[in-house]
Amino acid sequence: MNDDELWAAIDAQRLRTADLLETLIDDDWSHRSLCDGWTVRDVAAHLTLQQLTLGDGLKLALKHPGGVNRTIHASTRAKSRQPTAQLIAEIRAMAGSRRHNVGVTAQETLIDIVVHGQDIAVPIGRSLHVPQQLAAVAAQRVWDCRGTRLSKVFNQLPYDGLNLQATDIAWSVGQGPELRGPILALLLLLTGRTVVLPQLDGPGVQVLHNTSSSPAPVGGIPRRRRSR
C-alpha cells in the first residue's frame, strides 16, 4: 500500500467512524469503551488529537506532565468535555489532510483510527467496517514495532511465542503454536484487547490464556492501568 492508498484508507475510515458516531444516543457516548478507563466519548475525543505538531505536543506535555501516556490521558479527558457534534465535526474535518502527530508515521495514524473505531463500536454492539487489507497493514505495523518505543502505548500480551494466522486474508507472523482468526481480531489482540479471544482458535488460544496476566478485556492505545 503506497502513501496515496494509505491516506485514502485513513480518510475513508475516519468518515466511517464519524458516520457511526452520528448515530449514537447519549447512553452510547457514556458507555465503557474497550480502552480501559475510557468511555466512547473519551475515545472519540482522542481521535480528534491526531494532528499535533511539535509545539502542540510540548504544550500538552507541560500542561499535563507525567509521561506520554499521562499526557495522552489528560488531554483526551479535557477534549472530551466538548459537545459531541464538535468531536464528530473535527474527525470529519481531518479527512483529506496528511498531517499526523509528531514522532509517528501515517501508519500509526492508521492504527489509531482502525483500532479506536473498534473500541467504540464493539462494546455498544455496533459494526464498523474495516477492509481486511487495511487491518492487515495495521497488524503488520504493530507486529514490526514490538519492543520499540512505539509499542509502549499498547498493553503487551505474551504473543511473541505464537504463530498468528489470519483466516480471511493471506497474513501470518511469528512461530509457535497457531492462533487463528479474522485479521481484525488479530489486530485487536496485538493491541492488547483480549475481548476478541472468543473469535480465535488453535492451540495458541490456551497458551495465551495460561500466560496472560490480564484475562479480562483490556485497553491498548492508550495504556492507562497506571493512572491512558
Q: Return the pLDDT at 224.
A: 33
So what's the pLDDT on residue 160?
83
**Residue found under cell 500509526:** 108
Please provide the distance, in angstroms rounded to a whole number, between the alpha carbons at the two ends of the chain. Answer: 30
- Residue 112's closest CA among 160, 172, 72? 72
* pTM metric for this prediction: 0.84
Spatial neighbors of 159 by CB under 8 A, at least 6 apart, are 174, 179, 189, 190, 204, 208
Over the chain (228 residues), the average pLDDT of each successive run of 10 is: 94 98 97 93 92 58 60 73 94 89 83 97 97 98 81 70 96 96 97 93 90 44 32
> What is the pLDDT, as a whole number, of residue 220?
35
Question: Quick one: pLDDT at residue 34?
Answer: 95
Phi, psi of 125 (to 5 degrees): 70, 30
